[in-house]
Amino acid sequence: MNKFSTECFKTSILGEPVAVMCRAAGNKFLFSNEDKLVTGWWPDSVKKIFPARSDQKEETKRLRRLLPQFLKPEALKSYIGTMDIVARSHFASAWENKEEVVVFPLAKRYTFLLACRLFMSLEDSNCIARFDHSFQLLVPGIFSIPIDLPGMPFNRAIKASNIIRKQLMKIIKQRKIDLAEKVTTQTQDILSHMLTVTDDQGYHMDDLDIADKILGLLIGGHDTTSIAITFVVFYLAELPHIYNMVYEEQMEIVRSKASGELLNWDDIQKMKYSWNVACEAMRLMPPLQGGFREAIQNFTYAGFFVPKGWKLYWNAYSTHTDCEYFPEPEKFDPTRFEGNGPAPYTYVPFGGGPKMCPGKEYARLEILVFIYNLVKRFKWEKCSFEETKDEIPQGKKSPRGAVSSEVVVKFSSALGGLPPISGLSVLWSGLNWAVLMDIEQILMGPAD
């Protein structure tokens, strides 16, 4: 195989030969050949943090069969009210009356609270805090150098993963009792469903398998959505004309609602421009850079021979910034998503094919509910810029090329009768913004 080409190139990751696919045709090739020429693959380091106890491929397929019931649009409709309640209380407790806030950790807290509530009906703040602490140690270790020595991030991640599993096992045990005593129903949440569902032979899922699957969902839905949210906040602060359009769209919904009325499915459908903004943020800053596959037989792609056993990597950023598909690729332009939107296989923040993210719709809802609650409460500006290497979501670069992990923003005012905020600032990593904005009180219907 050649070393370089615009279609794909060869490299090595942790000693493994890897063919990196660069263009839409490469995405299409990988996404359409799942389980024919390629299959999902993770580096050994990841397998060490999430040790498989049974046939991992079968388990993944099983999870995919289970999820639609909870993550398809119809099922998600019933989550919107809860998402709104969680968002309201999250903003009230973590954002309001603050001088400055760091966006990424708070966005993570919001998505984590939601996942705990919607996947496991977990509301006990102490229990969630214990989980959260372990996740803070787990996630950075997944992308760290795999040195399993005390004190190293990788070692901490292995330990955290074991602690989380133990905590999940306790929750599962209690839930089994609740189900037996009919304190809860089998349709209450994903956990109850997993505990009651049987396979073709009538066997229930093993408790440890369930713990692993819930862990997988918490991981899958945790950092990704919070990165997307963080960059939405960032771009809205950077681009006032985009902010104004989002603001108008959201305020129309605010005005249409009675005091305290929760968001519903129809409201979400009206948030088209806001979703295009989120899509554009994910185009420029894909929360997941891409995914690995393994060749399960020899094949030739674009004239290159790929031997069985080689690893392959598709990545979102290369097509997202290709000027053939996205003119002026560096420009933030949500209108790209109007009409038919980007050409197939060019815009892939959620992947594609059989392994496409099953949490896409769920993520859309939690991002939009977040934007609604943010925009109706605050106006904010960049307040400072500081390069920091800590808390970097997967080593991302800020749009200005600086290492970016914390977005700090300052809010200057509350809207619509909410208690005024004295200079709340939101810190995104790598971007320092000054909070100078004095916005007028805007009448927009009763505050919640």
Binding residues for heme: 357
Residues 203-222 that bind ligand HEM (CB under 6 A): 216-217, 220-221
Question: Smallest gap, in angstroms, from Cβ of residue 350 to ligand HEM?
Answer: 5
Mask of contacts with ligand HEM, 218-257, x by CB under 6 A?
--xx--xx--x-----------------------------
> At CB < 8 A and 24+ separation, what contacts does 20-25 make?
20/312, 20/313, 20/315, 21/301, 21/312, 21/313, 21/314, 21/315, 22/315, 22/318, 22/319, 23/318, 23/319, 23/322, 24/319, 24/322, 24/325, 24/343, 24/344, 24/345, 24/346, 25/302, 25/345
362 binds ligand HEM (CB under 6 A): yes
Of the candidate residues 108, 156, 355, 396, the single one contacting ligand HEM (CB under 6 A): 355
CB-wise, 349 or 423, nearer to ligand HEM? 349
Question: Smallest gap, in angstroms, from Cβ of residue 309 to ligand HEM?
Answer: 18
Residues 36-75 that bind ligand HEM (CB under 6 A): 40, 60, 64
Q: Which residues contact 2 (CB under 8 A, 6 or more apart)?
A: 9, 10, 304
103 binds ligand HEM (CB under 6 A): no
377 binds ligand HEM (CB under 6 A): no
CB-wise, 139 or 217, nearer to ligand HEM? 217
351 binds ligand HEM (CB under 6 A): yes
Question: Smallest gap, in angstroms, from Cβ of residue 161 to ligand HEM?
Answer: 16
The answer to whether 141 touches 159, Cβ cutoff 8 Å, is no
CA dist., res. 116 & res. 218, Å (int): 8
CB under 6 A: which stretch of 49-57, 85-93, 351-359, 372-380 binds ligand HEM? Answer: 351-359
Q: Which residues are annotated as a binding site?
A: 357
CB under 6 A: which stretch of 19-27, 88-96, 251-259, 285-293 binds ligand HEM? Answer: 285-293
What are the φ and ψ backbone dihedral angles of 391, each rounded to 5 degrees? Answer: 55, 30
CB-wise, 61 or 272, nearer to ligand HEM? 61
Strands 304-306, 299-301: pairing is: antiparallel
Q: How far are the Cα atoms of 145, 147, 292, 389, 392 from residue 151, in angstroms, in the given order? A: 12, 10, 28, 18, 19
Of the candidate residues 288, 383, 414, 415, the single one contacting ligand HEM (CB under 6 A): 288
Q: How many residues bind ligand HEM (CB under 6 A)?
A: 22
Provide the CA 407 distance to its chain's centre, in angstroms: 16
Q: Which residues pair with 382 in a beta bridge?
A: 409
- Annotate 71-108 with b (16+ C-beta within 10 A) or e (fewer): beeeebeebbeebbebbbebbeeebbebebbbbbbbbb
Of the candidate residues 26, 105, 146, 358, the single one contacting ligand HEM (CB under 6 A): 358
End-to-end CA distance of the chain: 61
Q: Which residues pair with 291 in a beta bridge?
A: 314
Quick one: which of 242, 248, 240, 234 has its CA closest to 442? Answer: 248
CB under 6 A: which stretch of 1-9, 15-23, 359-367, 381-389 binds ligand HEM? Answer: 359-367
Question: Smallest gap, in angstroms, from Cβ of residue 446 to ligand HEM?
Answer: 31
CB-wise, 224 or 405, nearer to ligand HEM? 224
Of the candidate residues 86, 139, 232, 363, the single one contacting ligand HEM (CB under 6 A): 363
Residues 289-308 that bind ligand HEM (CB under 6 A): 291
Up-side HSE of residue 129: CA atoms within 13 Å toward CB?
A: 3
Report the interface residues with ligand HEM, using CB under 6 A.
Answer: 40, 60, 64, 216-217, 220-221, 224-225, 228, 287-288, 291, 349-351, 355, 357-359, 362-363
